Every structure is written in C-alpha cells, then in structure tokens.
Amino acid sequence: MDMLRTGVSMLGAFDPELNDHSHAANIRKSIRLIAKVSTLINDGYRIAHGKSPLPEREDLTLAGNLFYKLRGEVPQDWQIQMMDTILILYADHEFNASTFAARVTASTLADIYAAVTSACAALKGPLHGGANEQSMRMLDEIKKPDRAEGWLKDQLAKKAKIMDSVIAFTKRAIRACRSCARLGAPWAAYRQRKLDSDLREARANDGARKTFVRQCGSLRRAGVHNAGIRSGAEHADLCRVARCRLVRACGRAA
C-alpha cells in the first residue's frame, strides 16, 4: 500500500492534464490511472520479490493482465471472469472509508491524483483495507464451519473486535455473496485438483511428502496431518474452506 499510495501521487506529475478539472479530462485521467495502477501493483510486487516486470499483453483484458503480470502465466477464462466480477463489486461499493476520503479531497478542488492518493492512504488502515486480512486470519482460526458459533460467542464474551460485524448485510451484500459463490465453484474445483496432484506426488516420494506437509501449515490447520489427507471428505472440507474465504472476502465489497 505504501508503494501504491506513493506511486499514484507520483503519476500526477507526469499527466499533462493534471490541472484540467473538467469532466471530460477527469474521465480520460481516470482511464489512464486505472491502467497505470495495475502496472504499479504488479511491477512493484515483482521488483520487491527480485523478479523482472512483464509487459502487458494486448490480447488480455485488465483483469487478465493483473494475473499475467503478477504470475507470468496466462490466466484461465474463469479466473478472468472472477476478477472482473470482483472489480465490479468493489466499484459498486461507493461510500466506504477510502471513497469518502477521496470525496473530501476532491471537494477542495484538488486534482484527481490527490483524491486517489487520499483514498489509498485510507485503504491502508487495518480497519478498512486491512479488514480483509483480519477476516482471513479469523477464518484460519475458526477452521471449520461447525466451530463458527462457538468462536463467535467466545469473542463476544471477551468483547473482542469481529471485523465482519462492521459490514451491513444488505440485499446488495447478499447478491454479491451469491455472485462470488458461483464464481468460487471453479476455483474450489481447481484447488481440489491441485491438492490431489500434489498429494499423489508427495506420497510417491517419502522425502517430498515430508517437505510438502511441512510447508503447508495452512492446510494442516484445515485438516491435513503428516499422514496426508485421509479421505475424500477432507478434500471437500478444504474446498469448502477455500470457497468460504473467497465469498467472505468479496462479499464485503458489496
């Protein structure tokens, strides 16, 4: 977020229409900014991890290039559709903390880059953009659906913060959850196939199995032990957890 916030602010200095606040100019700047933010995120991540940035592919959409430039692999159609839908859901979430910060800055007649920089700064906060990360940790702690009620009662008794409780569960949120659930099905199936493949390879080699199990702490918390997944039911449990994470993370975008 530090890189994104500073990068958006820097881009303003290179835009010849920076101080043209007309509606037409702001539309043009918005389109350029959307494209450049994608590049900032992906190139910044790859450089930070010792990798070379990748050029955009003209045959891929914005969502497709997000995957390609990040991982270096052409995404599958369902992955592009999933990202497109998530981006639309986030765009529809029009009055959260970061968009409010952007509106306040824009109301002073500051340029669009200043407004978006303010939004990025607000998004960094653990009670806004960071809430997604906290909710993922919450799901890791709960582990299984049948533990959710007990976990929730325990947290309420301790008067602890529950990140999801700040999101209004409106009709729009329900529609968003249903959309993400439909999109999550191919992802869950993909993860199950990947797990099956990894486990077959790991079982074929005892040393590889031990390395695999040691590196997959998150999977152990979901039901994988040193002996590996014991049944197809545990495969299904893992996929349900993965799908739940996607739905809960994306549902807050409604």
pLDDT values of the chain reduced to their tens digit, one per residue, 254 residues = 888 899 999 999 999 999 999 999 999 999 999 989 989 999 999 999 999 999 999 999 999 999 999 999 999 888 888 888 888 877 777 778 889 999 999 999 999 999 999 999 998 887 777 666 777 778 788 888 888 888 888 888 888 877 654 444 455 555 656 666 666 666 667 666 777 776 777 666 655 555 555 555 544 444 434 334 444 444 445 445 544 544 454 444 43
Tell me the C-alpha distance between 9 and 1, whole Å. 12
pTM for the model stands at 0.60
Q: With beta carbons less than 8 A apart as the criterion, state whether 29 and 117 touch.
A: no
The answer to whether residues 50 and 155 belong to one domain is no
Q: How many domains is the chain built from?
A: 2
**Domain end among 75, 100, 123:** 123
Buried b (16+ CB within 10 A) or exposed e, 68-86: bbbeeeebeeebbbbbbbb
The answer to whether residues 109 and 134 belong to one domain is no
Residue 243, SS3?
Answer: helix
Tell me the C-alpha distance between 59 and 79, whole Å. 15
**Domain end among 104, 123, 142:** 123
The answer to whether residues 108 and 17 belong to one domain is yes
90-93, long-range: CB < 8 A, 24+ apart = 90/253, 92/172, 92/176, 92/253, 92/254, 93/252, 93/253, 93/254
The answer to whether residues 118 and 34 belong to one domain is yes
User: In 23-170, which residue ranges form alpha helices assigned H by DSSP?
Assistant: 23-48, 62-71, 77-92, 97-107, 112-123, 130-142, 148-157
The answer to whether residues 146 and 108 belong to one domain is no
The answer to whether residues 118 and 137 belong to one domain is no
Give the domain extent around 22: 2-123
Residue with token string 């249903």: 178
Token pair of 67 as six digits? 């995957």
The answer to whether residues 7 and 114 belong to one domain is yes
CATH number at residue 114: 1.10.580.10
Size of the chain, expressed as the number of residues it contains: 254
The answer to whether residues 115 and 208 belong to one domain is no
